[in-house]
């Protein structure tokens, strides 16, 4: 016995077996269609970049999670850990070859050497979409509408798209005289759902004192509807500040556009949404599923003033969001109450022992039929060997193939094409391949409406 | 001025700008449909694996092209350099969770630190498809048929699918008494097209002497058709060897199946096709484009006895091929005589200065119209700011958007929807959004059949 190497993947990495990969492809294709319907175009960037580009000049010590190494030319390189930094580099490099506003999406893998004990993967897909080169409310609204349409296309049920505006929060903190603590406050508030109101108040009190902590908790509590929440927030900002007024008007306009486009029902103004990261400067957004709130946000983002300031002096304001593909895939699997699995092959042409024809003849005949059916848009495979029938049926069962053609020389000579529904175990003879194709292309299963006399239970 | 980092990618790496990425996605989607129609299912594997898995136990010194490094846990890891080795590991690991024969495809990036002076990229896509777990002629033929159908779907024009069988070549070399030199001979013959007949003869002579060299050159010269080439080869093998007979019958059966399935016209038996790699054991195949033979093989592969013997003692014979996506993309670009570029957005709703409505009102109205048109399957974007009209037209031009809606409050009040064909520069008023949608969904351009009186040249 040869000395084999144990087949295994690295911790935190995983294979996608066909069912998982089919589900992933179905998801990304739906998203591509949605992005396309809003004019977003796809890009891709290298998996490997200069470490300096990905981490910035001083990033050496801080980014322990990054896969970083010396390449053959002794260059300091790293695997991308998100799609935002490569996009910033991309825009700085190519802005003159593009058009602004530039709407792009990017679905690709990223790598982080994270602690896998938290259930995180070290390789995972990200899906980002952004509109860069405009500071308009229309672009903010477009991101919201795209999220709404993406969730509708993915059939994840009702969603809550929760928005907020950094300008209001910042102005509120300034009015309370604690603007200097804004980063700490935003980070604490961002954890509200995870840690609860009591712990949030304790942390806030430690940073800004008990009175301010209570004021923050009052500020971040949503009112009955978008407008009353907005007016409460605005009045807490003192109603005199032009930045606060602009933020209020921006949120109102985003709401109006969402209403005009039929997406207002999902839109919630939630002052507790802050998106911990401090590079957001305007709108911030998080999306949760009404049926599965516990999985957290499935799409988050916001507006930033400067996408690419590390690489260019050009001003590139933008707004965008990131879809959590892994969370959505997990949600879709959990929500799939019917237990449907994606169908690949519609029809298996069985390989029968045959007295009328040789195996090679039968194989040629099977492939002729398969080619004809594929031209009718049917996914067909030919079982390649004359194995026992139960082996071939078991194969069809394992692969989820719904129909089988029991092709043999005798049946073909008699002008019969016996089509078997593998779920109902009934077989029906058709008199031509065209009829088989028509039956398989019907939305309903072919044996649901047998003409009298032509059906036979096998 | 801030000290920015120069935005650049590593040598041998590249960004995909939208046009290139759209072309790549269009190609991969077409291939996915073809693979699906033959019952192939997709899989994916990690980009990063244990170096031992990818390189084998003794692979340390030989694979200088591999990106290999120590990860945070001091594991010896490497980026995959092809999709074959990960697939072998995958099959060994998951064979019990799968079904045989297992038909998979895998389209993904691989990384090789190759010398970029040869015009090679260090990051590129591979596309492999295989049928594992069967040694049947039907599986060999299925690979050929899948190649033929893939090339048809990609509209690359006429192709030549050139096949050969290692068994015949090996037997022929044994008959000549030079079987020990078979690896060297196969490698030399594989280079025939690149180096020419004279240099091939010189190299062969050095290895196996002048008489054998001439015999090899005679053996690898194709005859007028598949059958006569096959019979010449078989007779050169002495006609007594069971291995040669099996190989001859296998090729004949593959040809018969291709004929039955309508793919025989592309199929050529070419005894000079050897595929240098010595792990092929039966059928070998290469595919070239009749209109662009100079780009070389766009799809190559063959049959192997042992896919995963490094990782398992299970026998996993298979047959498969690899599509050269980069070559095909280059070929498609060169063959695209019309200069078509992929269309993303069909309609741009312009953002007009308006006396009848405020900007926010107009924006809401534009987004309402966009949402309604998207529900009719039209890709629409709203220009997000009231920039000068020529700026908005220039944007549409750069992005290849064919139509614009000149929406303003007055036109809307008058029940007019002015749709402009940006190529012909003619504008036509429609009386409802439904009519706009119908016009845009027509195969022909909406201004091709103006009703009398309703057209206006703007």
For A47-80, give one letter per residue: b (16+ CB within 10 A) or e. bbbbbbbbbeeeeeeebeebbbbebeeeeebbbb
Question: Does B201 lie at the interface with A, CB-CB under 8 angstroms?
Answer: no
The answer, yes or no, to whether residue A450 has pLDDT greater than 50, is no
Closest residue in chain B to residue A2, using alpha carbons only: B313
Find the CB nearest B395 among A49, A77, A99.
Answer: A99
CA closest to A71 among chain B residues: B67
In whole angstroms, give the CA distance from residue B247 to residue B169.
10
Note whether A114 and A108 are within 8 A (CB). no
Distance of CA B19 to the CA centre of its chain: 16
What's the fold here for domain A18-335?
BirA Bifunctional Protein; domain 2 (3.30.930)
Place of tokens 């096959």: B230
CB pair distance less than 8 Å for B379 and A99: no
pLDDT(A456) > 60: no
A-proximal residues of B, 386-415, CB under 8 Å: 394-395, 398-399, 401
Q: Which of B39, B93, B382 sits opposite A345 (nearest CB)?
A: B39
Residues B4-36: tens digit of each pLDDT: 999 999 999 999 999 999 999 999 999 999 999
Q: Which residues have CB under 8 Å from B90's CB, separation 6+?
A: A7, A15, B43, B45
SS3 category, A438 = helix
Q: Identify whether the C-beta of residue A253 lies closer than 8 Å to the C-beta of residue A147.
A: no
Residue A133, Cα to own-chain centre: how many angstroms? 24
By C-alpha distance, the chain B residue nearest A372 is B261
List the single residue in A with minimal CA-CA distance to B125. A46
User: Does residue B298 surpass a pLDDT of 60?
Assistant: yes
Nearest to B253 among A49, A263, A360 (CB): A360
Cα distance between residue A272 and residue B84, in whole Å: 50
Which residues from A are below 8 Å from B139, CB to CB? 384
* Tokens coding B284: 């070998």
Question: Whats the size of chain B, residue-wise?
Answer: 458
Rounded Cα distance between A407 and A362, Å, is 8
Q: Helices (DSSP H) in A56-134: which residue ranges?
A: 84-94
% chain B with pLDDT above 90: 73
The pLDDT-based confidence of B274 (bands split at 50, 70, 90) is confident
What does the alpha-carbon distance between residue A362 and residue A351 come to, in Å, rounded to a whole number? 8
Would the pLDDT of B148 be above 90?
A: yes
For the ranges A33-42, A224-233, A336-345, B71-80, the lowest mean pLDDT is seen at A336-345
- For A364, name the nearest residue in chain B, comparing CA atoms only: B257
Question: Residues 6 or more apart from B347 whose CB is under 8 A from it?
Answer: B373, B378, B379, B380, B381, B401, B402, B403, B404, B405, B419, B440
The answer to whether the CB of A126 falls within 8 A of the CB of A83 is yes
pLDDT over threshold 60, residue B457? no
Residue B120 binned pLDDT confidence (cut-offs 50, 70, 90): confident
Quick: pLDDT tens for B52-94: 999 986 555 457 789 999 998 999 999 999 999 999 999 999 9
Strand partners, A429: A418
Q: Which token pair is B350?
A: 């312009």
For B367, which of A89, A260, A399 is closest by C-beta distance? A260
Using the predicted structure, report yes or no on whether residue B366 has a pLDDT greater than 90. yes
pLDDT digits (tens, 9 = 90+) for A314-357: 999 999 999 999 889 988 888 875 556 677 899 999 998 777 67
Do residues B49 and A10 lie in contact, with contact meaning Cβ atoms separated by under 8 Å?
A: yes
Site from B77, B120, B261 to mutate, A interface, most A CB atoms within 10 angstroms: B261
pLDDT in the model for residue A408 = 83
Tens of pLDDT along B88-99? 999 999 999 999
Question: Cβ(A172)–Cβ(A236) under 8 Å?
Answer: yes
Best residue in A1, A14, A17 for a mutation probing chain B (most B CBs within 10 Å)? A17
| A interface test, pick of B93, B344, B386 with most A CB neighbours within 10 Å | B344
What is the interface pTM, i.e. ipTM, of the complex? 0.91
Residue A203 binned pLDDT confidence (cut-offs 50, 70, 90): very high
Give the confidence band of B446 by pLDDT, cuts at 50, 70, 90. low
Q: How much of chain A exceeds pLDDT 70, in percent?
A: 93
Rounded Cα distance between B409 and B37, Å, is: 50
Average pLDDT over residues A119-127: 91
A367–B13 CB contact, under 8 Å: no
For B164-169, what is the mean pLDDT? 92
pLDDT at B339 over 70: no
Query: When comparing pLDDT for B231 and B337, which is higher?
Result: B231
d(CA A93, CA A311): 8
For residue B406, what are its two tokens? 């000149």
Task: Output the DSSP codes for B267-316.
Answer: EEE-TT---S-TTEEEEEEEEEETT-GGG--SEEEEEES-SSTTT-SS--
pLDDT (tens digit, 9 = 90+) per residue, A156-186? Answer: 999 999 999 998 988 999 999 999 998 889 8
Do the chains contact at B42 and A382, CB–CB below 8 Å? Answer: no
Please report the pLDDT score of residue B454 as a whole number: 44
**Interchain CB contacts (distance < 8 Å): A and B:** 333
Chain A CB contacts of B92 under 8 Å are 4, 7
CB interface of A with B, residues 302-361, below 8 Å: 308-313, 344-345, 348, 351, 360
Structure confidence by residue, pLDDT tens digits, B190-214: 888 889 989 999 999 999 999 999 9
| Joined tokens for residue B2 | 């801030």
Q: How confident is the model at residue B445 (pLDDT cuts 50, 70, 90)?
A: low
Selected residues 68-87 of chain B with any CB under 8 Å from a CB in chain A = 69-73, 75, 77, 79
What's residue B411's pLDDT? 80
Are residues B4 and A311, on separate chains, in Cβ contact within 8 Å?
yes
Cβ–Cβ contact B160 with A under 8 A: no
Average pLDDT value for residue range B337-363: 80
- CATH of the domain spanning A347-456: 3.40.50.800
B349 DSSP β-pair partners:
B382, B405
Q: Where are the domains of chain B?
A: 18-335, 347-456
């Amino acid at each position: 016995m040869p000395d084999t190497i144990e087949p295994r993947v690295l911790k935190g990495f995983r294979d996608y077996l066909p069912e998982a990969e089919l589900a992933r492809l179905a998801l990304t294709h739906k998203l591509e269609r949605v992005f396309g319907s809003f004019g977003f175009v796809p890009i891709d960037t290298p998996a490997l970049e200069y470490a300096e580009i990905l981490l910035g000049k001083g990033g050496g010590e801080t980014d322990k999670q990054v896969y970083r190494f010396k390449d053959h030319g002794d260059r300091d390189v790293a695997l991308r850990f998100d799609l935002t930094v490569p996009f910033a580099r991309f825009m700085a490099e190519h802005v003159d070859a593009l058009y602004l506003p530039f709407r792009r999406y990017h679905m690709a893998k990223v790598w982080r050497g994270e602690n896998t004990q938290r259930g995180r993967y070290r390789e995972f897909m990200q899906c980002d979409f952004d509109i860069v080169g405009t500071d308009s409310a229309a672009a903010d609204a477009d991101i919201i509408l795209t999220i709404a349409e993406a969730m509708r296309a993915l059939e994840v049920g009702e969603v809550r798209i929760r928005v907020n505006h950094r300008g209001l929060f910042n102005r509120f903190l300034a009015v309370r005289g604690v603007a200097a603590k804004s980063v700490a406050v935003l980070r604490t508030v961002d954890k509200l759902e995870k840690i609860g109101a009591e712990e949030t108040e304790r942390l806030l009190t430690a940073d800004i004192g008990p009175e301010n902590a209570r004021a923050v908790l009052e500020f971040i509590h949503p009112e009955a509807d978008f407008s009353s929440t907005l007016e409460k927030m605005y009045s807490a900002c003192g109603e005199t500040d032009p930045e606060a007024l602009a933020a209020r008007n921006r949120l109102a306009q985003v709401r109006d556009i969402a209403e005009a486009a039929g997406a207002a029902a999902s839109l919630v103004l939630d002052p507790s949404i802050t998106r911990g990261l401090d590079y957001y400067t305007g709108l911030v957004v998080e999306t949760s599923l009404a049926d599965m709130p516990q999985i957290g946000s499935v799409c988050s983002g916001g507006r930033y003033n400067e996408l690419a300031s590390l690489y260019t002096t050009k001003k590139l304001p933008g707004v965008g969001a990131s879809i959590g593909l892994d969370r959505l895939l997990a949600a879709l699997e959990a929500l799939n109450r019917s237990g449907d699995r994606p169908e690949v092959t519609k029809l298996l042409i069985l390989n029968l022992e045959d007295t009328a024809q040789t195996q090679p003849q039968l194989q040629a005949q099977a492939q002729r039929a398969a080619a004809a059916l594929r031209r009718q848009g049917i996914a067909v495979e030919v079982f390649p060997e004359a194995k026992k029938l139960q082996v071939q049926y078991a194969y069809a069962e394992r692969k989820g193939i719904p129909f089988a053609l029991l092709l043999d020389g005798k049946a073909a000579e008699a002008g019969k094409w016996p089509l078997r529904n593998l779920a109902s175990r009934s077989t029906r003879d058709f008199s031509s391949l065209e009829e088989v194709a028509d039956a398989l292309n019907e939305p309903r299963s072919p044996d649901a409406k047998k003409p009298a006399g032509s059906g036979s239970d096998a």
